[in-house]
Structure formats: C-alpha cells, structure tokens
Amino acid sequence: MIEIRNITKTYLNDDVETQVLKGVSFSVKDGEFVAIMGPSGSGKSTLMHILGALDTPTSGQYFLDGKDVSDLSDDELADIRRSKIGFVFQSFNLLPRATVMRNVEMPLLYSRVPKEEREEKAKAALISAGLSNDRFYHLSNQLSGGQMQRVAIARSLVNDPALILADEPTGNLDTKTGDIVLATFQKLNESGKTVVLITHEQYVAEHAERIIHIRDGVILEDKKNENRLVKKLQ
C-alpha cells in the first residue's frame, strides 16, 4: 500500500534551511493498522502531509498503491487525494449547518455522482462508521463530539479509498468517546481498510497493530505492537 524511500523535507525561510525529515523509510502493507507516533516538532505532521499527498518531499520517493506520487503536479496530487485517500482530522472539518448526510455526500458532489447513488453510498459509509440512522438528518452542530468524528470517518469512507489517514483523531475528545472512535478504526481495519494514525499519545498508538516512533525527523523504532489495546463497539 505505502512505500516510503529515503524521504527528506527541507523548508527555506529567509535563507535559513530547516530539515524536518531526514531520510525516512518504511512501508505499510495493504490492510495494516499503523500508528506514527512522535512529540511536537518530531516531523510527524510533515510526514502526514506527504502521506496525504498534501505536500511533496524534497528528495526520496513515495509510492501509494504502486504509484510514485512523490513528484506529481498539484492537479495530479488532488486526483490522488480524491480517489485514494480518506482523511480524518482532529477538528472534524464538518459544515455546521449542513445535515450529516450532506456532509458525508460532499466528496461525491465533486465527482458528480447522481443523487440516489450519493445517498446510498453515504448511508453505507455512516453505518460502517457506527452512527445510528436516527442521526442521519440531524445538523452536524446538533451532534456530540464523538458523533461528529464518526461523521468525519464516514465522509472519509464514502469514496472507498485505499488508505484512511487519521491525524490526531481523538485530540478533541474525552477518553471514553475517544475509545469509541478508536474502536471504529479497529472495526474498519478488520473489514480490510488500511489505516495510518498520526498521534503524540502512547495510549492512542497502542490501539494499532504496529507503532512507528519518529523524533527529530528520523525513525527511532518501528515494531509490531505486542500489547495492542483492542476495543469493541457496543
């Protein structure tokens, strides 16, 4: 699914170069659940942007589903994001005065999918994300934080992406609600989805099958999680 080969990223500001990623290499197999963990300033956010085709590396190669995306144009990167990647962010990024269904259908509108097909796919994605159907036509600002994050997960699923990329998805949630969201990711992974979760919290990372530790732009450790926390949706 993912192959990163000796990725570097350097930013230039007022003639001062700052190297954020320093030769990062790893791979993620189809159907894996991997956490990338590191403190603030470790380079994990920059790495997330590259994985999400939101940015390109200074050097090195990034293969997603067999395609080299490390040096594509902005339009080509947009196509990759739309067709291959589902994003889940800490801040939900929902339209507050739009219904749950409308929020989930939004990526399909850009692809000009017919209305009936949009509704069918949106409902299927919401069910997969674990949101009860009595919430489908609520406005998103009428939902709890956990429910909003499930809507965001459903939106990430609606185009059937190859990769789900979750950036601090429990950062705005209490522990109990965060556990429900993490259980949702585990359920999606069990159904065959590839999940990469970015976090600074050890507790959150321990829900993944494998943990990659990054600090100061280099990978310190990459190992299977022998003490994985498994949550089940109620």
What is the per-residue pLDDT across 154-200, written as a single tens digit (0 to 9) for each?
Answer: 999 999 898 999 999 998 899 998 999 999 999 999 999 999 999 99
- pTM above threshold 0.85: yes
Distance CA 212, CA 18 (A): 23
Fold of the domain built from segment(s) 2-224: Rossmann fold (3.40.50)
Domain ranges in the chain are: 2-224
Q: Helix 115-128 crosses helix 145-157 at what angle (to 10 degrees)? A: 130
Binning pLDDT at 50, 70 and 90, where does residue 234 land?
low
CA 139 remoteness from chain centre = 24
Strand order in the sheet with 163-167: 85-89, 163-167, 194-199, 33-37, 210-215, 218-224
The pLDDT score that the predictor gives to residue 99 is 96
Residues 178/150, Cβ–Cβ less than 8 Å: no
120-129, 151-160, 187-196, 225-234: least confidently modelled range = 225-234
